[in-house]
Amino acid sequence: MVTGEILRPRFYSETCPEAESIVRNEMKKALIREARSVASVMRLQFHDCFVNGCDGSVLLDDTPNMLGEKLSLSNINSLRSFEVVDDIKEALEKTCPSTVSCADIVIMASRDAVALTGGPDWEVKLGRKDSLTASQKDSDDIMPSPRANATFLIDLFERFDLSVRDMVALSGSHSIGKGRCFSIMFRLYNQSGSGKPDPALEPVYRKKLNQLCPLGGDENVTGDLDATPRVFDNQYFKDLVSGRGFLNSDQTLYTSRETRGYVKRFSEDEGEFFRAFEEGMVKLGDLQSGRPGEVRLNCRVVNTRHNDVLLGDS
């Protein structure tokens, strides 16, 4: 793991003591406005931290000189609710100008997304800086596809010192939220080029997905990732055991020998899943690139003085 900023709990206790409560209040508002939005915000932590560490790079808009991560293969038409992060940043800037990084906002908001929907609550380590750039290529090179199988996912997570247990537990983030038909069309109609559906799909569930996502239909239609998409619980794992995983990358965790034991355990013991998920999220939040950073004033753009440097002006 690359060393960067020294992260610690209550990092803002003196400079912005209300930071964590401001974030949670804004997340409560987002949950009331649109339940799905908090799940979308939680996904930002995965998509941010896997690409050059937890540095807020996923939040940056493209510029004439930089292709950022928002239009990468795993993010385009998929990552959403950036406006929730904008609202949190605006509230923090009013109380504590130029103090709380966007990277830390993602970490706090992800934790709150889980806690506010019935999942565990944990202490987060803070003190990250925001990146000065973002890279679509870096995101394309690292982020897994919805088609990924368990072996690929194990190898990917291992690169970040995340264990098989961490990977299965963190996949439980799909306990809340929705996925697009686009991500499952091949499972329904042409698994592994067979011209047939994924045999792991439970037949009644498959029919339901066929109705939701017909061939030639709108692939941006969304379906629930588990049977309780507004509640963070262990239903996701129960669904995998019964062949009702939405994504291939979900169901593979039960069909694969290396991961099936964890799926069964988490499906039977919600407390164990919650503990493993907490540990995984903290380890994920520790990922850093070691690159220089700043505290952005707007999460979508680097501060002007760095823009000047990036554009070659002195």
Which residue ranges of the chain lie beneath pLDDT 70? 1-4, 305-314
Whose tokens are 């929730």? That residue is: 84
Q: What is the pTM of this model?
A: 0.93
Q: CA–CA separation, 38 vs 41, rounded Å?
A: 5
Q: What is the pLDDT of residues 96-141, one digit of tens each?
A: 999 999 999 999 999 999 999 999 999 999 999 999 999 999 999 9
Catalytic site includes residue 306: no
Q: Token pair for residue 190?
A: 């042409």
Q: Report pLDDT for 144.
A: 87
Q: CA–CA separation, 231 vs 180, rounded Å?
A: 19
53 annotated to a ligand binding site: yes
9 annotated to a ligand binding site: no
> Which of 24, 47, 70, 206 is flagged as catalytic?
47
Q: Report pLDDT for 309.
A: 43
As beta bridge partners, residue 9 has 125
Which region holds residue 307: left if phi is over 0, alpha if psi is between -120 and 50, else beta? alpha
Helices and strands: H and E segment counts in the chain:
14, 4
Q: Report pLDDT for 2.
A: 52
Q: Report pLDDT for 243.
A: 97
112 annotated to a ligand binding site: no
| Domains by residue range for the chain, with CATH | 8-143+285-294 (1.10.520.10), 150-280 (1.10.420.10)
Q: CA–CA separation, 122 vs 12, rounded Å?
A: 16
Q: What is the pLDDT of residues 67-105, one digit of tens each?
A: 999 988 777 777 889 999 999 999 999 999 999 999 999
